[in-house]
């Protein structure tokens, strides 16, 4: 019997609605052989219990007086990160629940609470405890989504592991108004902070002065963009890793064979002569049909070579490519292939070929050139020529 008692888990339920707490504790009595139930009417009392009693699970409402569920989650993520939490809310959309679902053992429950679902969730969460899931798995994005879902007004202070500056986020009725992180402001600050791992989140006192809205994008699109950037960065890191090994080994081989190889580098060493030769090749093949062409940087849209060059169009098409890439990514479509074509008035077309750090755009009069010839004969030739230019 003593052993059973020692094995029994302890669950803390935090909610300010006394009738709900009473009915819950009465209903859960039948599981008294499996776990003890403790209750608290707000986050402050919950913290006192956390400080004095070993707990195995916390079930909490988000809206409460004194200290609400967000403050409790933030406090627990720092001080009791190994205790799993189930959050109860009347404002969860299916999308939010789906997103919160896989995060550690952070469970989600609709209010009014379905008693059977609650007991199942408690039992599952207690089982997961064995696997070691915990609140430390709660990501910044989940926390932000909870705030949006509950339409909370608050100021968040986010500390990232080994980050020299904190991120400050301001929400007004669940809408992300502004963010600051060092010198970064608004959306740039959000994209930076969302990518942090192992962050500590604190709720700060609201400022007295009014904070105006600086962030126009919605939270979900910012989260998706941050995720995309993180994936890109991981891919770049992976590439750098592979490239480092290649550079070292190939350099040795290169000495033997007198080949010149590029070492680890951020900038591309462009061979200007070969670049101009690539443009000349296009001009030569298309003749009068080529109305204008530019090779421009994907990052800044600045033309580095061209004929009848169009700097404004280069900068704008650089943005079009970025939007197109993001739209394909967001829609779950396959990524952009070799090129895209815009059919313009008067039998003109714009062809844009994304080439990594650069893009090649051209305005072509298709009355004077066959499209098939351009795509199947000329394009492979100029791509090879461009590749020669970037490899020196």
Partner 1 sequence: MGKQLERIYEIVTQKAGLDARMKLATKTGISKSRASEMPDTDELVKKFKALASALIGKNIDSL
Question: What DSSP designation does 262 have?
Answer: -
For partner 1, the closer CB: 154 or 278: 278
Report if residue 273 touches partner 1, rule: CB under 8 A.
no
The residue range among 15-23, 115-123, 342-350, 380-388 that interacts with partner 1, by the rule CB under 8 A, is 380-388
User: How far is CA 16 from each of CA 37, 40, 111, 330, 374, rounded to the nearest angstrom?
Assistant: 16, 8, 13, 40, 71
Report if residue 351 touches partner 1, rule: CB under 8 A.
no
The Cα 229–Cα 240 span in angstroms is 16
The Cα 303–Cα 293 span in angstroms is 10
Report if residue 335 touches partner 1, rule: CB under 8 A.
yes
Q: Smallest distance from the beta carbon of 387 to partner 1, in angstroms? A: 4
Give the residue ranges of DSSP H helices in the chain: 2-7, 18-27, 43-52, 69-79, 94-100, 115-131, 140-149, 187-194, 219-257, 272-286, 311-331, 371-373, 379-390
Binding mask 18-57 for partner 1 (x = CB under 8 A): ----------------------------------------
Q: Out of 119, 243, 276, 348, point to the residue binding partner 1 (CB under 8 A).
A: 243
The Cα 227–Cα 231 span in angstroms is 6
Report if residue 277 touches partner 1, rule: CB under 8 A.
no
Q: Out of 246, 281, 292, 375, point to the residue binding partner 1 (CB under 8 A).
A: 246
For partner 1, the closer CB: 24 or 362: 362
Report if residue 353 touches partner 1, rule: CB under 8 A.
yes
Q: Out of 232, 242, 344, 377, point to the residue binding partner 1 (CB under 8 A).
A: 242
By CB under 8 A, the count of residues binding partner 1 is 35
For partner 1, the closer CB: 165 or 246: 246
In sequence order, what DSSP letters do the residues of 270-333 get, joined into one string? --HHHHHHHHHHHHHHHGGGEEEEEEEETTT--EEEEES--HHHHHHHHHHHHHHHHHHHHHTP
Report if residue 336 touches partner 1, rule: CB under 8 A.
yes
For partner 1, the closer CB: 42 or 321: 321
Q: Any idea which residue has 């986050």 for tokens? A: 43
For partner 1, the closer CB: 260 or 312: 260
CB atoms within 10 A of CB 34: 16
For partner 1, the closer CB: 241 or 311: 241
Asked if 14 contacts 43 with a C-beta cutoff of 8 angstroms, the reply is yes
Tokens representing residue 83 in the block: 């205790």
Q: Smallest distance from the beta carbon of 276 to partner 1, in angstroms? A: 17
For partner 1, the closer CB: 30 or 260: 260
Q: Out of 8, 117, 213, 238, point to the residue binding partner 1 (CB under 8 A).
A: 238
For 223, residues 6+ apart whose C-beta sits below 8 A from its C-beta are: 141, 144, 145, 194
First and final CA of the chain: distance in angstroms? 79
Interface contacts to partner 1, rule CB under 8 A: 235, 238-239, 241-243, 245-246, 249-250, 253, 259-262, 268, 335-339, 353-358, 383-384, 386-388, 390-392
């Amino acid at each position: 019997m003593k052993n059973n008692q020692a094995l029994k888990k302890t669950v803390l339920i935090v909610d300010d609605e006394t009738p709900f707490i009473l009915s819950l504790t009465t209903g859960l009595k039948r599981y008294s052989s499996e776990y003890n139930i403790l209750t608290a009417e707000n986050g402050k009392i919950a913290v006192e219990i956390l400080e004095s009693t070993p707990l195995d699970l916390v079930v909490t409402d988000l809206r409460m007086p004194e200290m609400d569920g967000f403050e409790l989650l933030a406090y627990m993520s720092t001080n009791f990160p190994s205790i799993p939490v189930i959050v109860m809310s009347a404002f969860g959309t299916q999308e939010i629940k789906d997103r919160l679902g896989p995060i550690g053992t952070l469970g989600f429950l609709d209010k009014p609470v379905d008693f059977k679902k609650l007991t199942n969730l408690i039992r599952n969460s207690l089982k997961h405890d064995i696997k070691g899931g915990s609140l430390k798995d709660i990501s910044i994005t989940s926390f932000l989504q909870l705030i949006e879902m509950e339409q909370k007004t608050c100021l968040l202070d986010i500390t990232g592991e080994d980050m020299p500056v904190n991120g400050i986020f301001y929400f007004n009725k669940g809408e992300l108004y502004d963010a600051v992180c060092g010198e970064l402001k608004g959306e740039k600050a959000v994209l930076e902070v969302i990518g942090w791992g192992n962050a500590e989140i604190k709720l700060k006192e609201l400022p007295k002065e009014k904070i105006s809205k600086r962030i126009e994008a919605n939270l979900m699109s910012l989260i998706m963009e941050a995720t995309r950037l993180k994936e890109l960065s991981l891919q770049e890191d992976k590439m750098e890793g592979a490239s480092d090994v290649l550079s070292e080994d190939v350099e040795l081989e290169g000495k033997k064979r007198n080949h010149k190889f590029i070492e680890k580098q951020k900038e591309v060493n462009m061979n200007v002569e070969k670049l101009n030769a690539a443009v000349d090749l296009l001009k030569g093949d298309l003749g009068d049909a080529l109305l204008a062409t530019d090779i421009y940087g994907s990052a800044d849209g600045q033309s580095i070579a061209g004929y009848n060059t169009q700097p404004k169009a280069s900068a704008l098409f650089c943005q079009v490519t970025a939007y197109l890439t993001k739209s394909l990514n967001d829609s779950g479509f396959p990524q952009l292939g070799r090129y895209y074509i815009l059919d313009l008035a008067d039998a003109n077309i714009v062809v844009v070929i994304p080439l990594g750090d650069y893009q090649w755009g051209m305005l072509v009069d298709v009355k004077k050139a066959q499209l098939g010839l351009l795509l199947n004969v000329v394009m492979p030739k100029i791509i090879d020529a461009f590749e020669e230019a970037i490899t020196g």
